[in-house]
Structure 1
Amino acid sequence: MYIPNQFQETDRTVLYQFIRDNPFALLVANGSTNEAPLATHLPIELHTDARGEWQLVGHLAKANPQSKRLGSETPALAVFSGPHAYISSSWYDHVNVPTWNYLSVQVTGLTRLLDSDETLELLRQQVDRYEVDSRCPVSVASMTEAYVRKEMRGVVAFSMQIGTIQGAAKLSQNRDDKNHAAIVDALTQQNDFNANRVAEEMIKRR
């Protein structure tokens, strides 16, 4: 991903936390040279493997054609997106072009398919994570293992070893204090969740 130097985020701790906070990602995998890439939106978790190395794990429907492109050391790309907002040039004290502020992390690596026990453990962990705030939380443990394993026939789970990881935090770092403050003020006044979050990140990272 193209990232000008002033917008690069290189702190691995920050990048890993960003993935944890924004797990709903876009997974992209190539096919043969005459096939277009396939992409799927899905939650992807950040885990460590048995050797303590960081990896991404997730699952998608077996009926999804992309599932056939995973495994066998297939290279893939995972894109994690955070808050983003339009930046109007009318907020500056000088003539300039409008732009867009955003946060994003991209990970590339090789994939492998998980076996049935690894898939079951992934499903347990994912359900527990996303049910934690439910009024009446459910869990894989509350279902019979026979039922869960039957349902697992319809999914393909995978892991992706992290080969490269890049972070972009485009937050008007190239603006002087006066114009930076004006952008923050304009974003804060908007009744928009993303705009407000971008303003918070701009203040935090200034």
Structure 2
Amino acid sequence: MYQRDSYKKRDKKFIFEFIKAHPFATFILNGDRLLATHIPVLAEGNEDDFVLFAHIAYNSEQYQYLKDGAEALLIFQGAHAYVSSSWYKETDISTWDYSAVHINVNLKIQTNQELEESLEKLIAHFEKDQANPIFYKDLPKKMLQDHLPLITGFWCEPVKIEAIAKLHQGSEKDDLKSVTKHLQESGNPVSLQLKKDIEKENKMH
């Protein structure tokens, strides 16, 4: 990942919280060509020591290359948006603000028991805030028996982590106010989140 030094994020807490806040990741594996899948990935542990886990379907192109010790790349993407040069006080070059975390990992295939435990945690994570949650234990046993043989779970052991947050750090106050104002006015949910990220990064409140 290209990272200008002023945009690099080395803080372990930032990285761990970012992963938890953006769990729908891009999973890239080298097969007969580069292969990518978009899957939910959860972290287990803490900011100093964590492992990630996920699963894919047996009929995925990636499945045949999924094995212990294989290297993969996980990309977690935050809010992002185009920033027009017309928003600046003085004419400048347009840009794109964004944040992301890249994690190179080594894979380890889960046992059937580990897969079931992972699915239970995954469902609980996303169901807990639902009005009428349906947890793993609530699903019909026959449904689970039919579904489990069709997927495989795996652990992702981090070997290299790179993080970036390009959020107009170091910009003039007038430009920051203008950029966040235009993002607010867009009404786009992603742009609204980016506005919050810029404000937080630049301590605008």
Shorter-chain TM band: over 0.9
Give the match for residue 26 of structure 2: 26
The one-letter amino acid paired with 2:75 is V
Q: Residues 8-35 of structure 1, C-alpha deviation per residue, up to 9 Å, x if partnerless?
A: 111111111111111000000012xxx2
Checking the alignment, whether the CA contact within 8 Å between 1:120 and 1:149 is kept in structure 2 is: no
Mapping of 1:12-161 within 5 angstroms?
A: 12-31=12-31, 35-48=32-45, 53-143=49-139, 145=141, 147-161=143-157
How far apart are residue 72 of structure 1 and its match? 2.3
Structure 2: distance between partners of 1:120 and 1:23: 19
Q: Residues 85-104 of structure 1, C-alpha deviation per residue, up to 9 Å, x if partnerless?
A: 11000011222111110111
Give the match for residue 190 of structure 1: 186
Checking the alignment, whether the CA contact within 8 Å between 1:26 and 1:80 is kept in structure 2 is: yes
The one-letter amino acid paired with 1:10 is R
Q: Structure 2 stretches of 5 or more lacking a match? A: none
Runs of 4+ in 1 over 4 A off after TM superposition: 144-147
How far apart are residue 178 of structure 1 and its match? 2.0
Farther-moved stretch of structure 1 (56-65 vs 124-133):
124-133
Query: SS at 2:78's partner residue?
Result: strand
Query: SS at 1:83's partner residue?
Result: coil
How far apart are residue 7 of structure 1 and its match? 0.8
TM-score (norm 2): 0.92
Query: SS at 2:92's partner residue?
Result: coil
Structure 1: distance between partners of 2:145 and 2:69: 25
Query: SS at 1:9's partner residue?
Result: coil
Structure 2: distance between partners of 1:202 and 1:136: 35
Structure 2: distance between partners of 1:82 and 1:104: 6
Q: Structure 1 stretches of 5 or more lacking a match? A: none
Structure 1: distance between partners of 2:196 and 2:131: 30
How far apart are residue 63 of structure 1 and its match? 0.7
Give the match for residue 11 of structure 1: 11
The one-letter amino acid paired with 1:119 is L
- Cα distance, 1:186–1:68 mapped onto 2, change above 3 Å: same
How far apart are residue 144 of structure 1 and its match? 5.2
TM-score (norm 1): 0.92
